[in-house]
Chains A and B, each alone.
Chain A
Amino acid sequence: MADLRSNFVGIKSPNPFWLASAPPTDKAYNVVRAYEAGWGGVVWKTLGEDPPIANVSSRYGAVSYNNQQIAGLSNIELITDRPLQVNLDEIKQVKRDWPDRALVVSLMVPCEEDNWARILKRVEETEADGVELNFGCPHGMSERGMGAAVGQVPEYIEMVARWAKKHTRMPVVVKLTPNVTNILTPARAAKAGGADAVSLINTINSITQVDLDIMAPEPVVNGKGAHGGYCGPAVKPIALCMVGDISRDAECAGLPISGIGGVETWRDAAEFIALGSGPVQICTAAMHHGFRIVEDMIDGLSNWMDQKEYATINAWRGAAVPNYVNWGDLDMNYEIVARIDQDLCIKCGLCHIACEDTSHQAISRAQENGGQYEVIDEECVGCNLCMHVCPVVDCITMEQVQNGKPYTVWADDPRNPDNMKAAE
């Protein structure tokens, strides 16, 4: 059995699956149920100053796609709506009852040193394992100068991170907003401010759909809608890219990361970890299916690691980072062509029409014997669109053409205009 234990900036957990700060971690009741189900850790729903905020209803909009009820979820919920002391008392009790699980407390208060100093002191008394500074919430709180309003200004991130480090001995994680043009700017600022780690992503500005009868964006609150924060499976590619960007950045080198965004299965989590993430945080998938999804996450990851003969997570953490390069570092001489397995082909014609209408007219269709589809090697550019549209697993594969040419990047490619000039 593979060892799934995780140690993230000194915060230990039996597995790398944590619940992200959100409704699933809103109170002791949920958190205890999560621990009972097997979750390795939680980041408690973001605490703020009293009096607590008030929420509206409804709060969610969802994108359904191909029978998936929630391919993406948008919310307009704010931070905790319960009094600070109630949360703190519960946190203290839960940490005492579950010492082996990670318990990190998410925080958001106005951008003044005193406010941060005060709340950090009170959180410290709970003996929680660490704090996460919520600089990410993109709706509501940002209109009040908090959340993403801080996360979008690198100077503020650095400043608040520094205050936090100054006023507490607990590890400080900065949670980043993806609503920026370059994720490296806030990540570097967090590092400069002395943060122990970053976590990302928080939710993305979004309107999931427009109600065409009411003529308002969803979720609709009495005829009006505000933009929400997007999360769930649909955001995973964006989150992966941002995590990868930070992992390979020389300036951020050594900065621990907790990946968040669209994780639903052990495989999603493994992808984040392969791009350098520590414990992976999950919200929407738990909200969709309940806490029991962690069973498959634990057992699926462990079975996969056994199969790959990885004894610990550190044995492969970040293993994909060196292979995440810029376009200019790719091999211009690498050639592949599509191969259709005629025995598996169900003759749906999707590969043909995709290539014919929108790509390189490289899949022919024979009129006789029910229409056989064949790749025209000379026309195939190896874009692999056909492989993605094919509904049959392993029916279309990409085969390498052994052209004997060496690995050549664009800078050295003879087709590069700079090289043409040099050759003249």
Chain B
Amino acid sequence: MTDRAEIKAGRLAPAEYERNFVDVKPSLTPTAALVEASRCHFCYDAPCVAACPTGIDIPQFIAKISTNNVRGAAIEILKENIFGGACARVCPTEVLCEEVCVRMDQEAQPVQIGRLQRYATDFMMTEGGQPFKRGEPTKSKVAIVGAGPAGLSCAHRLSTLGHDVVVFDARSKAGGLNEYGIAAYKMPDNFAQKELAFILDIGGIELRTGQTLGRDVSLAELQEKYDAVFIAVGLGAARNLAVEGGDLKGVLPAVDYISDLRQSTNYQTLPVADKIVVVGGGNTAIDIAAQSKCLGAEHVTIAYRRGPDEMSATQHEQQFAQTNGVVIRHWVTPHEVIGKDGNVAAIELERTQLDENGNAVGTGEYERLDADIIFAAMGQVMMADALATRDDGILAMIEGRISVDETMQTSVAGIYAGGDCVKSGQDLTVQSVQDGKIAAASIDKFLRQ
């Protein structure tokens, strides 16, 4: 990517990188936490609890912060959501717990639940100590494929229930998208690895990185050697930009670039383009756009084929990108990528509108945006090829993902799946954690039969 003048590293002064990638939502001070906690009414049957996919008893943990039982507060969170620290940083609380806070009706200002959750979980991380214990050993062994939030949440729960767990992951580091995907300013300071260490500290979980299902290990083999299998491989390849010129040099999957960025220890050395167009409307689109600006890109435009309300990125996230200088163009869809000397030079967009069936369709009006790099951020697809089972059948799929029932069991007995590779709810960290928890309970039941 560096062989062109428009794409270069070191666009900013060192201090600017530091400022741009600082923690977006730093921890509350003790005083601020007490003030915020005092705003919680300690509601009975609180709406926030129902809105949290992992069902954390939010009023109870906030009450514990109020009495300065911060350790108790942290355990209250972690016992329902072992990734409570990550979720405090990455959850779109404005569409989850905080959206339904009764204070929204009262004064349109919710209790800052996410930040209080961060305060409590940070306390646990800095004070140290392991609040969870392995369960009575059961002699059962479970294989988990994928060390992202879904896989690790399942592994941790299984360990508390006394089962031995081996987690396989294709990458060299565990953590899944917490390590390779989430925006850098949401999880700075190597938090994903610190949290991972805390989770593994319970014991009984063996991590085998660099092990790809379908290459280094097969599902049939796992079925053979283990008492149950949980698949949590997330989503694989990025969807291609399927228009003319979509294969030109300079059309890149956003997730790959984000992954490089997350692994970089010196943002100054990361090459970034002058003019960038991002195609998509989700988290990934927002994150690649905002982070490109943070790296010093001059012009960054998100092109999305529908309106602001249809974007899967929340209003809050859209505003965040806009505040960082990203232009969001709604109602446009890629028509053609235009090249020059084999490289991307521009993108031709067609304007869209809704037809009577509610589909976004082209209007026949076109416009052209110059671009040195085009990031494809239109979602990812499951890679099903690794899913051959012992009986050589492929697991049943639905809408391109693994089909599971409400206990997270797949079409094959003893094989469970959860997280982004199934369609359980929104593709969020917190939903993946919950999937892992449900799967662990089902596996435990299955193993004890």
State which of B59-67, B249-257, B352-360 sits at the interface with chain A.
Answer: B59-67
Asked whether, in the complex, the Cβ of A296 is within 8 Å of the Cβ of B69, the reply is yes
Number of A-B contacts (CB under 8 A): 37
Q: How many residues of A contact B (CB 8 A)?
A: 17
Chain A proximity of B75: nearest CB distance (Å): 8
Kindly identify, within residues 278 to 305 of chain A, every residue whose CB is under 8 Å from any CB belonging to chain B: 289-290, 292-293, 295-296, 299-300, 303-304
Q: Mark A295-322, 1 if CB is under 8 A from B, else 0.
A: 1100110011000000000000000000
Asked whether, in the complex, the Cβ of A392 is within 8 Å of the Cβ of B69, the reply is: no
Kindly name the residue among B38, B63, B67 whose own CB sees the greatest number of chain A CB atoms within 10 A: B67
CB distance from B45 to the nearest CB of A (A): 10
Asked if A266 CB lies within 8 Å of chain B CBs, one says: yes
Residues of B within 8 A of A304 (CB): 69
- A265, A289, A303, A393: which has the most chain B beta carbons within 10 Å? A303
B80 to chain A, nearest CB (A): 14
Whole-angstrom distance between the alpha carbons of A266 and B30 in the complex?
19
Chain A interface, DSSP helix/strand/loop, else mixed: helix
B38 neighbours in A (Cβ, 8 Å): 67
Residues of A within 8 Å of B449, CB to CB, are: none
B60 touches A267 (CB 8 A): no
Cβ contact within 8 Å between A303 and B63: no
Given known A-B contacts A267-B67, A292-B60, A303 and B31 have beta carbons under 8 A apart: no
Given contacts A67-B38, A290-B44, contact A299 B30 (CB under 8 A): no
Residues of A within 8 A of B60 (CB): 292, 295-296
Q: Is B72 located at the chain interface by the 8 A CB criterion?
A: yes
Could you say which of A290, A303, A391, A392 contacts B72, with CB atoms under 8 Å apart? A303
B69's partner among A290, A292, A299, A391 (CB-CB below 8 A) is A299
The docked-state distance in angstroms from the alpha carbon of A293 to that of B68 is 14
Q: A299 to B64, Cβ gap below 8 A?
A: yes
> Which of A265, A392, A393 contacts B67 (CB under 8 A)?
A265
Residues on B with C-beta less than 8 A from A266 are: 67, 69
Residues of A within 8 A of B366 (CB): none
Interface residues of B in 20-60 (CB under 8 A from A): 30-31, 34, 38, 42, 44, 60
Inter-chain contact B31/A300, CB cutoff 8 Å: no
Check B437 for interface membership: any CB of A closer than 8 A: no
Interface residues of B in 220-260 (CB under 8 A from A): none
Residues of A within 8 A of B75 (CB): 299
Contacts of A295 in B (CB 8 A): 60
The residue on A at minimum CB distance from B70 is: A303
Partner of A289, one of B31, B42, B71: B42
Docked CA distance A296–B42 (Å): 12
Rounded to whole angstroms, the CA-CA distance of A296 and B71 in the bound complex is 11
Alpha-carbon distance between A356 and B69 when the two chains are bound, in angstroms: 37
In the bound complex, residues from chain B placing their C-beta under 8 Å from that of A265 are: 66-67
Q: How far is the CA of A132 from the CA of B42 in the complex (A)?
A: 32
B258 to chain A, nearest CB (A): 37
CB distance from A343 to the nearest CB of B (A): 12
Which chain B residues lie closer than 8 Å to A67 at the CB level?
A: 38
Pick the contact of A300: B30, B42, B44, B67 (CB < 8 A): B67
Find chain A residues with CB under 8 A from B63 CB. Answer: 289, 293, 296
**Distance in angstroms between the alpha carbons of A292 and B59 in the assembled complex:** 10
Mask: chain B, 125-137; 1 = CB below 8 Å from A; 0 = not? 0000000000000
A375 CA / B134 CA spacing, docked (Å): 54
CB atoms of A267 and B68 under 8 A apart? yes
A299 touches B31 (CB 8 A): no
Interface hits, A372-411 → B, CB 8 Å: 391-393
| Contact (Cβ within 8 A) B31 A392 | yes
Q: State the A residues within 8 Å of B (CB).
A: 67, 265-267, 289-290, 292-293, 295-296, 299-300, 303-304, 391-393
A-B contacts, 25 listed (Cβ < 8 Å): A67-B38, A265-B66, A265-B67, A266-B67, A267-B67, A267-B68, A289-B42, A290-B44, A292-B60, A293-B63, A296-B60, A296-B64, A296-B67, A296-B69, A299-B69, A299-B72, A299-B75, A300-B67, A300-B69, A303-B69, A303-B71, A391-B31, A392-B31, A393-B30, A393-B31
Known: A299-B64, A303-B69, A303-B71. 11 other contacts (CB 8 A): A67-B38, A266-B69, A289-B63, A292-B60, A296-B67, A299-B75, A300-B64, A300-B68, A300-B69, A303-B72, A393-B31
Q: Which residues of B contact A (CB under 8 A)?
A: 30-31, 34, 38, 42, 44, 60, 63-64, 66-69, 71-72, 75
Closest 10 CB pairs of A and B: A300-B69, A265-B67, A299-B72, A393-B31, A296-B64, A303-B71, A289-B42, A300-B67, A303-B72, A296-B63
